[in-house]
Chains A and B, each alone.
Chain A
Amino acid sequence: MSGINLASPHGAALTAAQDVEGRSLWQDAWRRLLANRAALASLIVLIVVALACFILPSFLPWSYEQIDWERMEANPPSIETGHYLGTDTLGRDLLARVLFGGQISLTVGLLATSVALLIGVMIGAVAGFIGGRVDQVLMRFVDLMYAVPLTFFVIILMVLFGRNFILMFLAIGCIEWLTMARIVRGQTLTLKNKEFIEAARAAGGSTSSIIARHILPNVLGVVIVYVTLTIPQVILIESFLSFLGLGIQEPMTSWGMLINEGAAEMESTPRSLLVPAGLMTLALFCFNFLGDGLRDALDPKER
């Protein structure tokens, strides 16, 4: 498929004197993504939410764990006290807590997805490219893992070895790589018989260099789509664990934990439930729309 798209409005405006500018498949995909309003809006919202979570807390008058000793109960939002969204029942600033919780949830989402990405892409590419017995063994192992109630295992791990942050994203990453491996393997299988792989082999490329330089760049599109759809799943798992009291530990917090705390006091102060729940739902929505948009942009056959 040629990367040059003469049917675009720009193409029509070209005069014979101008050079026809080549456009890569990535540029095409980027244009398709920008044309998708839902995906573009999601991308912008996500950037704003992330910036707010990571930068805004240092400009707030209160930190997430600081107790306002003069107001030791749920306070209404007010500009003068510096609690722009009020406080929780312990007198801690709700806005600061929600933003800090977002920091943790987003970080866990990104880190766990990276772990899943690393394991999944490696196993998938190796199984698909080498094939034969290696493929058999690896894929049977993936099948076996699918039969395991993995959430149960994460809970067991968290309880047994302490609820710490690193273990949490490692554990979640270790259960989310299965589908990634299957997808990458499927893609690799279709790629490995293409002429350019044959050419690379004829030129003397080793298996590992062919996987790294020719297979991986070509599965990137599918992988990006799947990554965007995995991040919200991971955030959900993290929140689910924290909600049950099995995730992040005080004084750290995350969206799931804030929702748990908010649910306990929703009768008196519904906003302590609605603010974290709303922000998390917004972020999850955006990740899903962005993922769908990326799928349409990177894989036009699917439409």
Chain B
Amino acid sequence: MLSFVARRLLIAIPTLWAIITVCFFLMRAAPGGPFDGEAPVPPEILANLRAAYHLDKPVMQQYISYIADLAHGNFGPSFKYKDFTVTELIAQGFPISAQNGLSAILLAIFIGVPFGILAALRQNSASDYSIMGVAMTGIVVPSFVMAPILILIFAIGLKDTPFQLPAGTWEGGAIKHRILPVFCLSLVYIAYLARITRASMIEALRQNYVRTARAKGLPFRQVVVRHALKTALVPVVTFLGPGIAFLLTGSMVIETIFQLPGIGRYFVQGALNRDYTLVMGVTILSASLIILMNIVVDVVYGFLDPRVRYD
């Protein structure tokens, strides 16, 4: 298994390099630049700015020095947040996005998976239909609709009651300020997890080994948890892998709506400001996380399904 992980990590390097290269040249090929503000900058100042950020050098040279900096863990200076390097901005924003994302994922697992199992065990019953109906709503109503509506209810409608929840402020991350964003983040994932768990659980319950386990006289609860659930979790893990990566790098919508200082908002701001280095930094971080999580998913398969072999 170690060699499997090592091999996958080795393949990850060219993948990441390809992503970085495409991203880099896309940005250099685009018309306009980070210093085209509202007011035109005098040419002398523009030349100085470009020199300061090494934008006056040939593109190939810029590319090589960028890759060399990356290899040293240096994402370069931010074009817009003049006093910060991209590494500093990410170091500030990532923990916030990661904490919220992790809380949302945990919430989604603890709500979505049990409800999915319940729906599978009572297939085609009223409880199955109502759980799946709610799950469909969670999938269809996007977070940028749900978040404003929840704000309307909890931050504005319930103002001056004990149930009021603040929105649009962060205050260093007090619990009260996290409830709404984390809940909004997790909604879609709760819904998807419930649906996936239900489908794969129904499939697993029909398998021969489950029937064998029942025939041996094992209690139903034990068969469900030990035998069926274990294989039923394979698709759940497949979904969770990239899902975790996306949540950890911050949901752009939620962080924009609730004005959280996470890297999702940095990305949107960076894109709007054409802050090339910042956008590249967040993209690279996100791509690495997705690749890493996919490797983790493949390793976890082996624990859940004994038929999976690494070779």
Contacts and interface: CB of A to CB of B under 8 A. Distances in A.
Interface stretch (A5-13, A94-102, A241-249): A241-249
B148 A246 contact: no
Interface in B133-176: 136-137, 139-142, 144-145, 148-149, 151-152, 156
Contact of B148 (A152, A156, A239, A263): A263
A241 B287 CA distance: 20
A70 interface: no
* CB-based closest 5 A-B pairs: A160-B30, A263-B148, A149-B286, A277-B145, A284-B140
Nearest to A283: B140
Interface stretch (A81-89, A108-116, A265-273): A265-273
B203 to A, nearest CB: 11
B291 A147 contact: yes
B279 interface: yes
Given A244-B252, A285-B140, A161 B148 contact: no
B283 A160 contact: no
A157 interface: yes
Contacts of A273: 148-149, 152
B26 A149 contact: no
Contacts of B130: none
B272 A245 contact: yes
B294 interface: yes
8 contacts: A146-B242, A146-B294, A147-B15, A147-B290, A148-B287, A148-B290, A160-B30, A277-B145
For B142, B148, B268, the residue with the greatest tally of chain A CB atoms inside 10 Å of its CB is B142
Contacts, number: 101
A259 B18 contact: no
Nearest to B147: A263
A263 B246 CA distance: 24
B26 A156 contact: yes
Given A147-B287, A263-B148, A157 B26 contact: yes
Give the one of A152, A256, A262, A280 with max B CB within 10 A: A152
Interface string A258-301: 01101100110010011001001100110011000000000000
A266 B152 CA distance: 7
Report whether over half of chain A's contact residues are helix, strand or loop; otherwise say mixed: helix
A232 interface: yes
Contact of A149 (B32, B145, B148, B283): B283
Nearest to A260: B144
A138 interface: no
Contacts of A146: 242, 294
A281 B144 contact: no
Question: What range describes how many residues of B lie at the interface?
Answer: 35 or more
Given A156-B27, A160-B27, A243 B253 contact: yes
A148 B19 contact: yes
Most buried by B among A262, A263, A267: A263
Contacts of B282: 152
B23 interface: yes
B257 interface: yes
A159 interface: yes
B294 A156 contact: no
B132 to A, nearest CB: 10
A210 interface: no
Contact of A239 (B144, B151, B267): B144
B271 interface: yes
Contact of B140 (A149, A245, A274, A281): A281
Interface in A218-251: 232, 236, 239-240, 243-246
Interface in B255-311: 256-257, 267-268, 271-272, 274, 279, 282-283, 286-287, 290-291, 294
Given A232-B140, A244-B256, A246-B271, A160 B26 contact: yes
A144 interface: yes
